[in-house]
A and B are shown apart, each in its own frame.
Chain A
């Protein structure tokens, strides 16, 4: 469904990604893990054309996305949840969710904000609260709920567990898994939390200094302890 061929990404003169190849099949669940600064976020932003200067080809359902601005990519069904969540503080939780309706692909209808709130038990008590008056864990749930509201085909999650308490991380893993199943959405996840990545995906890519150092199933990942040692140990 999503293919990226030899992606090179730059911020100004710094070269962040070096010839990255990536493939997310229909309903695929792919994790990209790696240390801080390995280029995981840049990869997601490159796919969305939201920030870095990108050289290389990104294809969506066989069609090149070259030159397409981020909002057009969002309307094709790609939804990125950024690691800093970016909940609008001047809007209530419900309004934040409603704001995503513009990203609904042609021929699909967005999920009404009320239905989303009903589906996330955590959001019910806070749906009328301002975006600045909720906790970090709640913000992450709102960010994911907002992304789901436009019925994306591919969900790109950037470090969803960052800064969350372990109990919340467990809850989040269940929610993300269920949502992707219910909405028939593929998942491309960037994480440092290997436990969370393992719960939610079946394929894993290890990224180190802007290059893909390993790709395979979680079994293959476990079979080679050297990978962890070389590319993930701090």
Chain B
């Protein structure tokens, strides 16, 4: 039970980061190495707003939303000046260009927030634990699990049910035809990519408590998010959600049975999943 809660917490935390990553791929066919760095900027922005001890859950969520807006705007800038130029060139250029963006982001964080580690406590209300069937569960874990599920449900609704999502999907699947139907394709892509980056910023803000903020924060999550996106099927948000839960649970079991080898099972799991489903559990998707 404890493993389950822990695993779900890890899983939902990773999903929050992976969601934006998989969306950018679904829309532009670009693997964004800088995604983790933008997650980190979101976390730093939120920490500057709430300090080391946020006053309430609401303050934390509000800070996460502001972080999302800031990172979303940064995303539009990156899309405008970097991603758009490399969309139709060889993949190597994408990797090099987004890697360069990541380096710039990390340097920016070092300049603005310095090299010291910062930490933020969970706000009152979710800083203790609750008793579930005699088991002590940190309420911050429940907050993360809840956030992950809410973000997934909202995204799934927007992509598959809302008209805006249908339009973005139309642009991602056949942008040429969308242009002929009078849709402003560059503006649509820009909005969608801005939204995907905003998700990274939101994740940074929501996952802020209990983290040690350092300029290396982006890397830790980026790797797990990449694994999630690949296992779930590139560009597939539902796939990423399922994969994140599976990875979280695998990692939880790893901690329970092999505490001396942290993280090993995740990689073994990735190899196993990719052998079974080379294109991801739900398959690659243009959204």
Contacts and interface: CB of A to CB of B under 8 A. Distances in A.
A74 B179 contact: yes
A73 B29 CA distance: 27
- Give the bracket for the number of chain B residues in contact with chain A: 10 to 19
A88 interface: yes
A195 interface: no
Contacts of A32: none
Interface stretch (B98-106, B112-120, B168-176): B168-176
A143 B182 CA distance: 14
B182 A75 contact: yes
Contacts of A99: 166-167, 170, 178, 181, 183
B181 A102 contact: yes
A127 interface: no
Contacts of B66: none
Contacts of A74: 179-182
The majority secondary structure among interface residues of chain B is helix
Contact of A146 (B166, B176, B181): B181
B181 A100 contact: yes
B166 A90 contact: yes
A171 to B, nearest CB: 24
A80 B284 CA distance: 30
A229 B174 CA distance: 39
A88 B174 contact: yes
A95 interface: yes
A199 B181 CA distance: 27
Interface string A35-71: 0000000000000101100000000000000000111
Interface in B122-175: 166-167, 169-170, 173-174
Given A75-B182, A90-B169, A101-B182, 13 more contacts: A71-B183, A71-B185, A82-B180, A86-B177, A90-B170, A90-B173, A91-B166, A99-B166, A99-B181, A100-B181, A100-B182, A103-B181, A103-B182
Interface of A: 48, 50-51, 69-71, 74-75, 79-80, 82, 86, 88-91, 95, 99-104, 146, 150
15 contacts: A48-B180, A50-B176, A69-B179, A71-B179, A71-B181, A71-B184, A71-B185, A74-B182, A79-B180, A80-B180, A88-B170, A88-B177, A99-B181, A100-B181, A103-B180
